[in-house]
Structures are given as structure tokens and as C-alpha cells.
């Protein structure tokens, strides 16, 4: 299994030079109807991520970029990220301008199949037989998606290169066990992440209380 690290202190960086590295950034999206405090923390989060990744680059400059939900490489992929999420777009744009290559991570048909089964799971419930069947199809699509994404990283991240993976933590944990064991995994965890996670919990709690009122 790939080695998992939190923040890397300055004395630790040198021993990680060489080999293949993957800097994993939790994907956070902006929520339009969120409180102003969330938007402020969201912007702070991506600023801090940029700083942390720059620090990690002492062990290896980012050569390859992978972004969850993106089917195209290069400029087309960058435009897709821009429409999807401004925070990660600015980070990817910056690294691209520094010479990193944005690669398509997802297979469009497989991603759409996975998403459709996930949506179907959210609406079934009256029939256990139907729910079990939908869950079976969802798990199958999810497993095949995991295999595709892990294979993409394993095959395109070359010896001596560092990649930056922008992906939700939950999904990253799914694919991490399928990454080649020689890929060193570095987890980016800026201070603003905890604040945002707490805000999201509070927003969900308020929404639940409102729906029950």
C-alpha cells in the first residue's frame, strides 16, 4: 500500500526525493447558497492548498495533474474544471502554467453509469428487491470506475514524477489501495479544511431541522 503522510516538515522532505509521488488534495466545491462564512473559508482553503502543494514540491515538482470528474486533457479539461469549480481551477491553471500536464482521469461512459446508479439509490426504497438490485449495479459500476482511475494514475505517472490528485477524500480512499505500491502518497490537509467540514456539518444540521419543523 502506498505510504500515507500528513503535513511534511522541512527536515522530512529530502528523504522523499526520487520515485513517484502523488499529492492528494481534497476536492471542495463552492456552495452557492452557503453562508458568507463558508465562501470565505472556501477561498482561504484553496489559498492554503496552493501553499502546501508548493511546499511539497521541494520533494518533487508537479508534473501530472488528475482531477475527479474530468474526461479531457489539456485546455479542454481545464475549461471543464473552470465551469465546475473555481477554487480547483485556479490551482490547476497555476500548475499548468508552470509546466504540469492535466490528464483526463475519468471514462465518460463509466462515470455517467456510476452517477446514474448513485442517483437511483437515492430514490429507491419501497421494494427491498429493487433496492438490492440497484445497489448491486452501483457497486459494480463503482468498482470498475475505481479500477479505471487507479490504472490511469499507475500508467501515466512515470518514474521520478510527482502528480497532483484533486479528489474527494472518500473516493481517494477507495482508489488508494489500488495504486502501485511504489507511489508515495502525500495528503494535503490545510488548517481551513477542519473549519469547512465543521461548517458543512452545521449547514446539514440546520437543513435537517428546517425540514422537520
State the CB neighbour count (10 A cutoff) for residue 141: 19
Q: Is the pLDDT of residue 70 over 70?
A: yes
70 inside domain: yes
Q: Is the pLDDT of residue 116 over 90?
A: yes
Alpha helix ranges (H) inside the chain: 36-56, 74-84, 86-97, 108-121, 128-156, 169-176, 192-212
81 inside domain: yes
Q: Is the pLDDT of residue 89 over 70?
A: yes
Q: Is the pLDDT of residue 135 over 80?
A: yes
Q: Which domain holds residue 13?
A: 4-104+160-212
Q: How far apart are CA 29 and CA 62, in angstroms?
A: 22
% of the chain with per-residue pLDDT over 90:
77
* Structural domain count, the chain: 1
148 inside domain: no
Structure confidence at residue 207 (pLDDT):
72
77 inside domain: yes
Please, which residues have CB within 8 angstroms of residue 51's CB and are 6 or more apart in sequence? 190
Q: Each residue of 12-66: pLDDT tens digit?
A: 556 666 789 999 999 999 888 888 999 999 999 999 999 999 999 999 999 999 9
Q: How far is CA 44 from CA 38, 51, 100, in A?
A: 10, 11, 23
Q: How confident is the model at residue 6 (pLDDT cuts 50, 70, 90)?
A: very low
State the CB neighbour count (10 A cutoff) for residue 50: 18
Say if residue 53 is exposed, middle or buried (CB neighbours under 10 Å; 0-12, 13-18, 19+). buried
Instruction: Report how far apart the first and last C-alpha atoms of the chain are (Å, whole number).
Output: 47
Please, which residues have CB within 8 angstroms of residue 162's CB and are 6 or more apart in sequence? 20, 21, 22, 23, 56, 57, 59, 60, 61, 62, 63, 64
Structure confidence at residue 4 (pLDDT):
43
Q: Does residue 135 contact residue 152 with C-beta atoms inside 8 Å? A: no
Please, which residues have CB within 8 angstroms of residue 84's CB and are 6 or more apart in sequence? 29, 69
Please report where in the chains the cell 522523499 appears, as a residue: 16
Structure confidence at residue 2 (pLDDT):
44
Between residues 57 and 3, the one the model is more confident about: 57
Q: Is the pLDDT of residue 76 over 90?
A: yes
22 inside domain: yes
Please, which residues have CB within 8 angstroms of residue 23's CB and are 6 or more apart in sequence? 53, 56, 62, 162, 163, 164, 165, 186, 188
Amino acid at each position: 500500500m502506498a505510504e500515507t503522510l500528513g503535513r511534511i516538515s522541512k527536515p522530512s522532505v529530502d528523504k522523499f526525493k526520487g520515485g513517484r509521488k502523488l499529492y492528494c488534495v481534497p476536492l471542495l466545491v463552492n456552495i452557492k447558497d452557503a453562508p458568507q462564512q463558508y465562501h470565505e473559508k472556501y477561498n482561504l482553503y484553496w489559498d492554503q492548498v496552493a501553499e502546501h502543494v508548493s511546499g511539497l514540491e521541494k520533494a518533487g515538482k508537479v508534473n501530472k495533474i488528475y482531477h475527479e470528474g474530468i474526461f479531457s486533457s489539456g485546455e479542454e479539461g481545464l475549461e471543464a474544471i473552470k465551469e465546475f469549480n473555481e477554487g480547483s481551477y485556479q490551482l490547476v491553471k497555476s500548475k499548468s502554467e508552470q509546466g504540469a500536464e492535466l490528464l483526463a482521469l475519468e471514462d465518460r461512459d463509466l462515470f455517467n453509469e456510476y452517477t446514474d446508479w448513485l442517483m437511483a439509490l437515492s430514490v429507491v426504497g419501497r421494494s427491498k428487491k429493487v433496492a438490492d438490485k440497484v445497489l448491486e449495479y452501483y457497486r459494480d459500476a463503482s468498482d470498475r470506475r475505481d479500477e479505471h482511475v487507479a490504472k490511469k494514475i499507475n500508467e501515466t505517472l512515470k518514474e521520478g514524477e510527482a502528480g497532483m490528485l484533486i479528489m474527494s477524500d472518500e473516493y481517494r480512499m477507495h482508489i488508494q489501495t489500488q495504486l502501485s505500491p511504489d507511489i508515495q502518497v502525500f495528503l494535503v490537509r490545510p488548517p481551513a479544511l477542519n473549519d469547512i467540514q465543521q461548517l458543512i456539518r452545521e449547514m446539514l444540521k440546520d437543513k435537517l431541522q428546517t425540514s422537520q419543523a
